[in-house]
Each structure stands twice: as structure tokens, then as C-alpha cells.
Amino acid sequence: MGPASCEALKSVLMEGRKMKLSVALIMLLLFGVSNQRCSCAIVQFIFGDSLSDVGNNNYLTRSLARAALPWYGIDLGKGLPNGRFTNGRTVADIVGDKLGLPRPPAFLDPSLDEDTILNSGVNYASGGGGILNETSSLFVRPSPPDSVTSSLARRMHADGDLASFGVLLQVQRFSLYKQIELFQGTQELIRRKIGRVAADDFFAQSRYVVAMGSNDFINNYLTRSLARAALPWYGIDLGKGLPNGRFTNGRTVADIVGDKLGLPRPPAFLDPSLDEDTILNSGVNYASGGGGILNETSSLFVRPSPPDSVTSSLARRMHADGDLASFGVLLQVQRFSLYKQIELFQGTQELIRRKIGRVAADDFFAQSRYVVAMGSNDFINNYLLPVYSDSWSYNGDTFIDYLMSTLEGQLKLLHSLGARQLTFFGLGPMGCIPLQRILTSSGGCQESTNKLALGFNKAATELLGNLSNTLPNATFRFGDAYDSFQDLIDRPYMYGFNNSRAPCCSLGRIRPTLTCTPLSTLCEDRSQYVFWDEYHPTDQANELIANEIVTKLGFKPINETNTP
């Protein structure tokens, strides 16, 4: 996609948002904004997102976008969390204060009633909300009806003033259309309270604030496919320069290590062209962006996908033949955990056994090489995010113990399935990836995160050594490139790089963007950057990492007799 196409895409997206906003504002005009005057109190009705939310999301008890934890609200009132996504007041609070208007309570505040509305108005703003209904839909989870504590909302539903009570059960956010739906229900309550004429005057002289739009970019377009490398500019320096599923501009570490060993590059398991002959000639790659050792890792980003979205005929055959325990695993569009990848490997084995016979298949799998490269997401997209229970159920050491006990069971399972020669790639300095750096005030590495990576590597080294010593005919090895990668980050000029802090692919000052997108711009010289996006190294950096692993482990091409 060239610059002209990107500009055209931007224009289309912007026009669509303008149209949606125009319709929403016209609806507000129809439902209450006019030039009528009366003696009623002047109050505010606020529509918005987290920049204006004063507690609606806090009453959505399973919400991942809640400002209910310390230290939110520390500089307002009693210093306790109050639903505002800041340490004190929102912009809407301050503007209202300067106009001498009362601060409207959250719509879902259990104490809200008609008298309060008439005296103070209502705030419908919801963290994560957008102009578009689909914005932030990635993060929506259903919540039980009894989790909604607002008696006003329940009365509105009972009286038929709220078209769909289900709107309250979308635990993440209210879109602008949904907020307007709640406003319509509010109007009906007030009309029954003071009469239609007085109510219409009340709403006509009220003040209306709409502060919304940022999430339509941040939590819609930019994160619609959080774990896909299907957009430009991924793969720009490999083959024809088109996206190929690799989360970098070129090769992965596994690609490069395999190339140096003279092994073919295995295709993705879900590649529609994959069949038994391809597996016998090239193997399979089950790796999945966002996947972790733990099943719960990256679960925040999981959305169900329709069955016909899985294009792999091999996967469908495995399911039809009963070799895949749950076809639903393929419908989790974000990632396969390691256990799920092993499940897919078991199904692959059954296909190959039917193709060439059990004895030949068992020999084939025993002499194959196995690579497991996993663990960073268990920290970045699990333990280090307070929305996951693991983040408060464990400390650093106990979480690593949890990972090791899980990994031990997984590696033993792979051994029982025939894996004899396995390499586990260790973690790099995770605290130095651009995503972690931007979270610090200094822009430096998060040393606490790096400490977790070092602790993980130490424990994994011991685990791999113990398994090699205790499992029959097992050669399980740990590929460690932490120190060399850290030196590359600390002294990029020594290795021919000039930037080890920022991603090559970014949206300028809009960070973090999580993935590289068609709207992103690229650095002038990709070979000079250590990081491709907020998470992943560039092809050039991957080559240095791969070389370190190959050298440390003494790997040689498979046609040499002394190959480990």
C-alpha cells in the first residue's frame, strides 16, 4: 500500500467517523437541545469516554476499563478511587465548575434518582466508549444481570424506557449511540416526574457535553487485529515484501537458526495449502502471536470467530477425523497457547500415521527437530497487566514457579509424543522493548521487567537440564541470547545500528500503537533499528540473536555428522 492509498484510507475512515458523529448530534438535538427557556435548574448531560467518565465503568463489575484501583482519584475529595481516569478532576469537571454548574453523577450510580437528575444532571461517559458502536468491542465480555446495581436503570428497563437492558451488560463501555439511548430513557423518567412540558423545557435549557473520538482510533482501527501480522509493513524485507504472518520486517530467529542448520522453513499450521506431503518435507509451525505457556495469557484479546473463517482444510479434516479434540481452539482468533499448539501437534501426528504408517511416523517424529520459543507474553500480556488475576495472585518468584511447573508438564508431554531433540529459546531483556520504555518517565528500560526475564531464564535453564538428564534419549537445550541482546541495546553502534530505543514502524508521536499499521511510517534505514514495532526486533537484530544461539549451542548443518 503506497502513500496515496494510505491517505485515501485515512480520508475514508475520517469521513465515516464524521458521518456517525453528525447523526449522533442530530439525535441529541431532536431529543433535547433547543433554544427554549424555563425556570428549571440548569444542569449538564455529559456524553463521552474515559476522559469524562466519573464512575459508570466502576459499576460494571467485570469491566477491564475501570478506574477503581489506587491511585485513581488520589487528589480529589478523600483521595479514593471515584471512577475518574485521572488523579483528580476531568476536563468536563473543570469546565462545569467554571460555569457554576453542578457536577453530574454517573448514570450507573446506585443513588441516582429523578430529583438528583433535576438538580445535577447525568454523566453517561464510559471508559472505552466511541462514536462507533464497534469501538472497543474487542474487550467486551458479558456480565450477569445482577451485576448492575443502578436501581434507576432497572426501573427504566421495567417501564420499557430502555430499549435493551443488555446495553448495561456490555461490561466495557457505552458507545455514543448507547449513551443517547440511556438519555432517552432518562427523559421518559423526568417527563413522568414533572410532566412533558416542564421536562421538555428542562432538557432544552440544559447544557450538553460530548467528548469522544479518541477510542475510535486507539481501540478500533489500531487494535482491531491485535495479534496479526497481516498488514503493511510486516514482511517488507522478505520475499516479495508482502505481509507473511511474521511479526517483523523480515525473518524470525527461528527462520535464521533453521537456515543455518540447512532445514526447510516449516509453513504455518493454518496455511490453507498445508497437507501431509508438505509436513513430511518441511514440518509445521504452530507458533501464534500472543500465545503463552499459560492458557490464560492474552485471553483479554480473544474474540470468537465464525467456523468458516478457518481456511485450513487440514485442520477441518483433523476435526472430522476426531484427531482434534476441540475445533473451537481454531476459533480463538488471537492466539494458541502452548497446550493448544501441542494439541494441534497431536492431531498432526495422527494424520501422518495414517499416511505412512505408525512405525515410520514414529521414526519421523523422533528424528525431527523441535523449537519452543515462548514466555514473553506470559509477562507482557498477563502478569504485568493488572487486569489479569495472575498479576495479583503471584509475586515475581511465585509466578515464575507457576510458569516452570506448567512448562515442565508441557515439555514432558512433547517428549511422550516423540520429541527428542528440542531447543527452548530464552527471553531477552523484555524491559527494554519500546512498549516498556515508553511507560517510564525517563524512557529507560524497565529493570524490574528485565529482572523477571533473567529469573525466568535461570529457572528454564535448570528445567531443561533436569529434563535432559531424566527423560530417556532427550536432548533438551536452552538457547540463551539475553546478554548479547542487552549489549546490542546498550551499545547499538558497536553492531552497526543507530537506534535501540524506538520502533522503526510507528505512528510518529502516537505511541504505543502496539502493531505496525498501513497508517504507520517507517524509519529511513531499517537495518539501523533494533526494534521493528513496539514488541519485536527487526530482521537484522534477529540475525544477531540467532547467531548467538547457534554459536552457544554449537549447532552445525544437519548434514555434518557431529550435529548436536
Residue with cell 529511513: 524
User: What pLDDT does 558 receive?
Assistant: 79
Grid coordinates belonging to 504:
522503526
Could you confirm whether 415 is annotated as catalytic? Answer: no
Buried b (16+ CB within 10 A) or exposed e, 461-472: eebbeebeeebe
- The residue among 248, 277, 298 that closes a domain is 298
Q: Distance between CA 347 and CA 411 in Å, rounded?
A: 17
Shared-domain flag, residues 189 and 119: no
Residue ranges with strand state E in 205-285: 207-211
Cis peptide, bond prior to residue 512, ω within 30 of zero? yes
Could you confirm whether 536 is annotated as catalytic? Answer: yes
User: What pLDDT does 55 receive?
Assistant: 83
Q: Distance between CA 321 and CA 328 in Å, rounded?
A: 15
- The residue among 298, 321, 347 that closes a domain is 298
Shared-domain flag, residues 358 and 503: yes
Task: Of 197-201, 274-278, 322-326, give the lowest mean pLDDT range.
Answer: 322-326
Higher pLDDT, 425 or 152: 425
> In sequence order, which residues have a C-beta less than 8 Å from that of residue 28 and are 6 or more positions away?
47, 180, 183, 208, 210
Residue 159: inside a domain: no
Tell whether the model's pLDDT for residue 548 goes beyond 90. yes
Query: Of 137, 175, 206, 484, which residue is the catalytic one?
Result: 206
Closest CA to 179 of 144, 128, 140: 128
Task: Of 78-87, 222-231, 298-307, 518-527, give the lowest mean pLDDT range.
Answer: 222-231
User: What pLDDT does 229 receive?
Assistant: 65
- Chain-centroid distance of CA 74 in Å reads 28
> In sequence order, which residues have a C-beta less than 8 Å from that of residue 494 and are 6 or more positions away?
487
Residue 441: inside a domain: yes
Sequence-ordered alpha helix ranges (H) in 32-137 = 91-98, 114-120
Grid coordinates belonging to 445:
528500560
> What is the bridge-based pairing of β-strands 369-373 and 44-48?
unpaired
Shared-domain flag, residues 365 and 429: yes
Higher pLDDT, 496 or 329: 496
Distances (CA, A) of 263 to 247, 282, 470, 559: 21, 8, 28, 10
> In sequence order, which residues have a C-beta less than 8 Å from that of residue 26 and are 6 or more positions away?
none
Residue 342: inside a domain: yes
Shared-domain flag, residues 183 and 134: no
Shared-domain flag, residues 197 and 130: no
> What is the bridge-based pairing of β-strands 369-373 and 475-479?
unpaired
Q: Distance between CA 399 and CA 409 in Å, rounded?
A: 16
Are 370 and 422 in contact by the 8 Å Cβ rule? The answer is yes
Shared-domain flag, residues 242 and 363: no
Tell whether the model's pLDDT for residue 44 goes beyond 80. yes
Residues making up the chain, counted from first to last: 564
Shared-domain flag, residues 387 and 462: yes
Shared-domain flag, residues 133 and 199: no
Q: Distance between CA 354 and CA 333 in Å, rounded?
A: 29
Shared-domain flag, residues 244 and 370: no
Residue 35: inside a domain: no
Shared-domain flag, residues 364 and 468: yes
Confidence of residue 345 (pLDDT cuts 50, 70, 90): very high
Coil/strand/helix, residue 493: helix
Query: Of 93, 500, 536, 539, which residue is the catalytic one?
Result: 536
Could you confirm whether 206 is annotated as catalytic? Answer: yes
Q: Assign residue 480 a region: left if phi > 0, alpha if psi is -120 to 50, beta otherwise? A: beta
Shared-domain flag, residues 186 and 227: yes
User: What pLDDT does 152 receive?
Assistant: 61
User: What pLDDT does 135 receive?
Assistant: 63
Residue 181: inside a domain: yes
Residue 344: inside a domain: yes
Grid coordinates belonging to 492:
547499538
Residue 16: inside a domain: no
Shared-domain flag, residues 430 and 549: yes
What does the pLDDT average to over 413-422?
Answer: 96
Tell whether the model's pLDDT for residue 298 goes beyond 90. no
Higher pLDDT, 547 or 38: 547
CB count within 10 Å of CB 32 equals: 22
Are 533 and 250 in contact by the 8 Å Cβ rule? The answer is no
Write down the number of H helices and E strands in the chain. Answer: 19, 10
Which neighbouring-strand residues pair with 423? 371, 477
Tell whether the model's pLDDT for residue 414 goes beyond 80. yes
Higher pLDDT, 141 or 502: 502
User: What pLDDT does 258 receive?
Assistant: 92
236-293, pLDDT tens digit by residue? 889 888 777 788 899 999 999 999 999 999 998 888 888 999 999 999 999 888 889 9
Confidence of residue 27 (pLDDT cuts 50, 70, 90): low
Higher pLDDT, 404 or 185: 404
User: What pLDDT does 170 receive?
Assistant: 44
Confidence (pTM) = 0.62
User: What pLDDT does 214 receive?
Assistant: 60
Query: Of 161, 201, 323, 533, which residue is the catalytic one?
Result: 533
Query: What is the separation, in whole angstroms, between the first and last Cα of the chain?
Result: 44
Higher pLDDT, 523 or 316: 523
Domains identified in the chain, total number: 2
Residue 339: inside a domain: yes
132-169, pLDDT tens digit by residue? 765 655 444 444 444 445 566 556 556 655 444 444 44
Round the average pLDDT of the chain to a whole number and report it: 80
**Range of 492's domain?**
49-138+332-560
User: What pLDDT does 56 receive?
Assistant: 76
